[in-house]
């Protein structure tokens, strides 16, 4: 058996050497290389078409759910920075210096002008918040936007319709009492740095907003 294997291996070596010495081996290699290049180019085009289609699909979906985020991504593409993050102590000190200052509202003459112009406006009828109002507000909200203190995404509020009457009642109580619970005005702050080296460019975003009665206010 071993002798037969050695003989077969010798014949294979001789055959390969003969095939490498044939005159058309260069042409065959060239044709094979060209064939592989064409296959690679075809796969590259397919990948680019798929990537472009996926990008358009994601942009269209983002346009329907969060236009602000779409425009921001078009103006400034997201880049995963590998540099050091902002210094926490400097950032906290900078923003604490702003938030800790007492609020001094400007009471200029323009406030009297605005007040006189608004005096002729018919007072708005009492707002009655219904479960349908809550459902409409939740429907327009992005599914997976950062949740509030309850850690509940809008996706679940859209499906758990049994919660809508409870939310409508709570919103109505807040309007009737003319005071909002701290839960309604407390949000999560996210630092979005433009230049991680400068604390004042580490902008914070904290925009808790309830759009339940916004449509009525706009119509009025």
Percent of the chain whose pLDDT exceeds 90? 9
Other C-beta atoms closer than 10 Å to the C-beta of 3 total 7
131-140 vs 164-177: helix crossing angle, rounded to 10: 100
Exposed, middle or buried, 102 (CB in 10 Å: 0-12/13-18/19+)? exposed
Tell me the pLDDT of the chain averaged across its residues: 75
Percent of the chain whose pLDDT exceeds 70? 67
How big is the chain, counted in residues? 220
Comparing 15-24, 36-45, 67-76, the range with the smallest average pLDDT is 15-24
Q: Tell me the whole-structure pTM to 2 decimals.
A: 0.44
pLDDT over threshold 60, residue 203:
no
Q: What is the pLDDT of residues 80-101, one digit of tens each?
A: 455 566 677 887 787 777 777 7
Q: Does 199 or 192 have the greater pLDDT score? A: 192
Say if CB 104 and CB 114 are below 8 A apart. Answer: no
Q: What is the mean pLDDT of residues 59-79?
A: 76
pLDDT over threshold 80, residue 209:
no
Q: Is 151 left (phi over 0), alpha (psi -120 to 50) or beta?
A: left
3-state secondary structure of 96: helix
Alpha helix ranges (H) inside the chain: 2-20, 25-65, 67-75, 88-99, 109-118, 131-140, 154-159, 164-177, 214-219
- 192's CB contacts (< 8 A; 6+ apart) are 202, 203, 204, 205
**Per-domain residue ranges for the chain?**
31-75, 125-219
Confidence bin at 205 (pLDDT 50/70/90): very low
What whole-number distance in Å separates Cα of residue 150 and Cα of residue 2?
76
pLDDT over threshold 60, residue 210:
no
User: What pLDDT sits at residue 195?
Assistant: 59
User: What pLDDT sits at residue 48?
Assistant: 92
Task: Give 7's Cβ-side CA count (13 Å radius).
Answer: 4
Confidence bin at 201 (pLDDT 50/70/90): low
Say if CB 57 and CB 64 are below 8 A apart. Answer: no
């Amino acid at each position: 058996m071993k002798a037969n294997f050695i003989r077969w291996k010798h014949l294979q070596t001789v055959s390969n050497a003969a095939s490498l010495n044939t005159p058309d081996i260069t042409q065959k290699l060239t044709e094979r290389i060209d064939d592989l290049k064409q296959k690679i180019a075809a796969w590259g085009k397919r990948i680019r078409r798929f990537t472009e289609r996926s990008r358009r699909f994601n942009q269209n979906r983002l346009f329907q759910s969060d236009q602000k985020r779409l425009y921001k991504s078009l103006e400034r593409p997201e880049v995963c920075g590998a540099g050091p993050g902002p210094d926490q102590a400097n950032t906290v000190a900078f923003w604490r210096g702003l938030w800790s200052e007492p609020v001094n509202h400007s009471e200029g003459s323009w406030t009297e002008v605005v007040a006189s112009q608004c005096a002729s406006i018919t007072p708005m009828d009492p707002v009655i918040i219904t479960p349908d109002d809550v459902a409409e507000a939740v429907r327009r909200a992005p599914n997976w936007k950062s949740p509030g203190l309850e850690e509940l995404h809008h996706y679940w509020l859209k499906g758990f319709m049994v919660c809508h009457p409870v939310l409508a009642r709570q919103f109505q109580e807040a309007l009737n009492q003319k005071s909002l619970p701290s839960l309604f005005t407390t949000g999560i702050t996210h630092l979005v740095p433009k230049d991680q080296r400068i604390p004042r460019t580490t902008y914070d975003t904290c925009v808790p907003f309830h759009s339940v009665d916004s449509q009525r206010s706009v119509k009025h």
